[in-house]
């Protein structure tokens, strides 16, 4: 349950190929959020569920997003929104996934 | 000795090459951690089943992998689920390399020199080299870029910087080499557990005699024309240092230019390039049973990182330097333009001694007779970053 007594949101997260492999995941991750449904809460929950991902998305020392990663949601780049801003309703409802995306690379 | 296991780190994963003591028939297994740069894989001298691997990515950062069964399975130490996580950013320690700036143990250094001479903040980028303890499988040292030395005593679950090195009074003057400000060499003295050596491009070589608490630059005798004072105490681009454990006071160095030797644990160095066709190169290693037998792979120069004349030649000295002979049997002697990186050569402890190296062209060559004859163990791997070998009981 969340802070207002409602059922805790269950959000869907899509990770890049290498992070799925690292965490030994297949497909999307479904996370139950606690408290306000923010990006910070989402990433906290992701790292708590899959601790091997600590430091791979947010820098260990600063807690900031790693430079070659972006956050997408509902066809928007939400990388620069404050970490404590509420996630889009479609992500909170599970209708849309939250995407962690690596920048393109060849080679 | 029943066999050998060659541990190969590449730009796109790790590979394990195994053979029996004859070293003729090889099994190639991998890639592990496919698609990731694996800078180094090394086994514990105290437990050959314990391996550590540095898996790294510009996108996703640094991962340390550990195996307790000789590389059949791997785990990420400290990556276990937190049972009582409640709220806030998880404060786990796995893969966490954070520079020590504490009042108690760290020196609050904030910058080193950048390529252009300006001050630049320390930024952790990756682990270049992992050096397991000679005695304890759970203790391992890690050499970082930007240059720092870390140690774990719990099997790579948590890491602490040995801040006395970066806190040396010269630390703020260290400048990166072309590959970055990397700590790439860690040597542990098997006769004196408190004595260890490290090397940094392009700061130079350092020695500790108190288990890594304090450090002294050991670069006297080095001459480098790319720094304002060619004989300065620091600033030398040391590419690699090697020793034979039976004679640990004798060190051999492949510098940016020059092959060097020290007979006094690094206090002074003298050049032993002798008749080499060029004294630029990256790797250097010492025969397991003959402490005066040394191997290098000369590269044309600092701007053309490939063998002279397109001929891949390992050079061997049986006289501790100065007198070198080319070893060519089984190596390509035409149209070969690969490089051999600093951590990509190793020797086994079988008799006769085996020698191994990997190339940026993806070949791993091995010799089971101290370098007289070579064969390609595997070809067409991704560019090879590192080669280590374990002699298995």
- The pLDDT value given to residue B64: 96
Q: How far apart are the C-alpha atoms of A96 and B349, rounded to whole Å?
A: 58
**How confident is the model over A27-53, as a mean pLDDT?**
93
A54/B92 Cβ within 8 A: yes
Domains and CATH numbers, chain A: 10-84 (3.10.20.30)
**How far away is chain B from the Cα of A63, in angstroms, using its nearest Cα?**
8
B31 touches chain A (CB under 8 A): no
B90/A54 Cβ within 8 A: yes
Question: Could you give the C-alpha distances from B373 to A79, B239, B297, B367, in angstroms and in order?
Answer: 56, 26, 15, 6
B197 touches chain A (CB under 8 A): no
Each residue's pLDDT tens digit, A93-103:
999 999 999 98
Spell out the residues 6+ positions from residue B298 whose beta carbon is closer than 8 angstroms to its own.
B276, B277, B278, B279, B280, B281, B307, B308, B313, B315
Residues of chain B falling short of pLDDT 70: 1, 82-94, 106-108
Contact B219, B234 (CB under 8 A): yes
Residue B366 phi, psi dihedral angles, 5° rounding: -135, 150
Average pLDDT of the residues of chain A: 91
Greater pLDDT, A9 or B273: B273
B38 touches chain A (CB under 8 A): no
Q: Residue B56's closest chain A neighbor by CA?
A: A56
- The pLDDT value given to residue B82: 60
Answer yes or no: is pLDDT of A85 > 70. yes
Closest by Cβ to B59, choosing from A34, A43, A69: A69
Question: Could you give the C-alpha distances from B116 to A3, B95, B167, B196, in angstroms and in order?
Answer: 53, 31, 22, 31
Question: Could you give the C-alpha distances from B351 to B45, B59, B390, in angstroms and in order?
Answer: 18, 43, 14
Each residue's pLDDT tens digit, B99-146:
988 877 766 677 999 999 999 999 999 999 999 999 999 999 999 999
Separation of CA B303 from chain center: 22
Contact B43, B31 (CB under 8 A): no
Q: Which residues of A touch B86 (CB under 8 A)?
A: 34
A83 touches chain B (CB under 8 A): no
Residue to substitute from B13, B62, B92, B96, interface A, most A β-carbons within 10 A: B92
Closest by Cβ to B98, choosing from A47, A49, A61: A61
Greater pLDDT, A11 or B87: A11
Closest by Cβ to B60, choosing from A40, A50, A66: A66
Residue B52 phi, psi dihedral angles, 5° rounding: -125, 140
């Amino acid at each position: 349950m969340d802070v207002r007594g409602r059922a805790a949101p269950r959000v869907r997260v899509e990770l890049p190929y290498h992070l799925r492999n690292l965490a030994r995941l297949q497909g999307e991750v479904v996370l139950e959020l606690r408290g306000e449904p923010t990006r910070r809460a989402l990433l906290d929950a992701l790292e708590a569920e899959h601790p091997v991902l600590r430091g791979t998305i947010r820098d260990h020392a600063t807690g900031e997003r790693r430079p070659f990663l972006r956050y997408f949601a509902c066809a928007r780049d939400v990388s620069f929104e404050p970490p404590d801003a509420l996630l889009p309703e479609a992500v909170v409802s599970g209708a849309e996934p939250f995407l962690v995306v690596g920048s393109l690379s060849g080679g | 000795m029943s066999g050998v296991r060659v541990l190969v780190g590449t730009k796109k994963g790790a590979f394990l090459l195994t053979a029996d003591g004859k070293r003729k028939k090889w099994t190639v297994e991998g890639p592990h951690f496919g698609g990731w740069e694996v800078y180094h894989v090394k086994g514990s001298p105290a437990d050959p089943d314990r391996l550590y691997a540095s898996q790294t990515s510009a996108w996703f950062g640094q991962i340390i992998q550990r195996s307790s069964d000789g590389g059949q399975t791997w785990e990420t130490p400290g990556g276990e689920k937190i049972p009582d996580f409640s709220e806030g950013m998880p404060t786990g320690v796995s893969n966490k390399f954070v520079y020590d700036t504490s009042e108690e143990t760290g020196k609050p250094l904030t910058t080193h020199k950048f390529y252009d001479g300006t001050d630049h903040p320390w930024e952790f980028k990756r682990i270049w080299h992992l050096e397991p303890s000679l005695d304890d499988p759970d203790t391992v040292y890690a050499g970082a870029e930007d240059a720092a030395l870390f140690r774990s005593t719990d099997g790579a679950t948590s890491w602490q910087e040995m801040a006395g090195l970066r806190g040396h009074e010269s630390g703020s003057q260290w400048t990166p080499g072309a590959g970055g400000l990397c700590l790439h060499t860690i040597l542990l003295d098997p006769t004196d557990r408190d004595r260890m050596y490290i090397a940094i491009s392009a700061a130079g070589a350092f020695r500790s005699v108190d288990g890594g608490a304090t450090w002294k630059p050991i670069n006297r005798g080095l001459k480098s024309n790319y720094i304002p004072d060619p004989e300065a105490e620091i600033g030398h681009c040391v590419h690699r240092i090697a020793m034979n454990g039976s004679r640990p006071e004798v060190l051999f160095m492949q510098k940016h230019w020059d092959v060097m030797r020290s007979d006094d644990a690094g206090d002074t160095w003298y050049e032993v390039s002798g008749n080499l066709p060029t004294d630029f190169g990256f790797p250097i290693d010492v025969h397991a049973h003959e402490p005066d037998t040394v191997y290098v792979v000369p590269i044309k120069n600092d701007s053309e990182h490939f063998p002279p004349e397109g001929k891949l030649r390992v050079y061997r000295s049986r006289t501790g330097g100065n007198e070198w002979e080319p070893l060519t049997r089984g190596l390509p002697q035409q149209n070969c333009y690969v490089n051999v990186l600093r951590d990509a050569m190793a020797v086994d402890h079988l008799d006769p001694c085996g020698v191994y190296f990997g190339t940026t062209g993806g070949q791993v060559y091995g010799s089971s007779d101290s370098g007289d004859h070579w064969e390609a163990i595997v070809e067409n791997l991704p560019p090879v970053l590192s080669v280590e070998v374990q002699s298995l009981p």
